[in-house]
Amino acid sequence: MNENTLTKVYLYTRFERFWHWFQALMIILLMITGFEVHGLYTLMGFDTAVDLHNFIGLFWLGSFAFFAFWLIITGEWKQYIPTTRKLFDVARYYAWGIFHGQEHPVQKTPGAKHNPLQRLAYLGISAMLLPVQMVTGLLYYLYNSLGDVSLAPIAFIHTLAAFLLVNFLIIHLYMTTTGHSLFSHIKGMITGWEEIRDTSKIEEWETKATRKG
């Protein structure tokens, strides 16, 4: 089959799609309320923003724990195993090839929904940045019961992580436009189906990476 032929593949389950949009909503609401608490603007009032921020944060913390459990019992955690296979090819593509009409060096498959660069990014976000944000947020929430603990470093780390999440969100939104059409990636996260270019080479890089687990 011609390698330029687009083939429809079901990549994202209903739960994955639900979690993606649910978490996006939680993060956006936390940003809106959190930045108001810091006095960047007045939208709903300080007290309301604090109460809503605390409620959403605690609800997100519990939901994230459930998502981690789901990853373990379904084996989907293997999708986040980092690999250097074709990592530099992907980085070179986004830095140069995409602007010169080159094809993406790695196509998505059900066994490898994320390319090597995405794996590193999502692993860093899910295993480091989000836990740091959640732990510091919980410490912030429980501050009055912690005793003689300085609030300044907790607040600084929590706010820094928030700005890093803003940067990730901006980059993530841009990356959704880099498919074979402007909204193809977004459509895939809504319907579960994505169109990929048919090639016999797409299995080589991902099977060795995912089977290690």
Domains detected in the chain: 6-211 (1.20.950.20)
Task: Tell me the per-residue pLDDT of 12-62, one tens digit each, with 9 for 90 and over.
Answer: 999 999 999 999 999 999 999 999 998 889 999 999 999 999 999 999 999
Whether 157 shows a pLDDT value over 80: the answer reads yes
Is 156's pLDDT higher than 70? yes
pTM: 0.84
Instruction: Identify the pLDDT of residue 198.
Output: 58
* Burial class of residue 209, CB neighbours in 10 A (0-12, 13-18, 19+): buried
Task: State pLDDT tens for residues 181-204.
Answer: 888 899 999 999 988 875 445 445
Whether the Cβ atoms of residue 49 and residue 33 lie closer than 8 Å to each other: yes
> Which residues have C-beta within 8 Å of that of residue 93, sequence separation ≥ 6?
102, 104, 105
Nearest-angstrom CA–CA distance, 60 and 66 = 10
Closest CA to 103 of 11, 201, 189: 201
Residue 8 phi, psi (nearest 5) = -80, 130
> In this predicted structure, what is the pLDDT of residue 4?
59
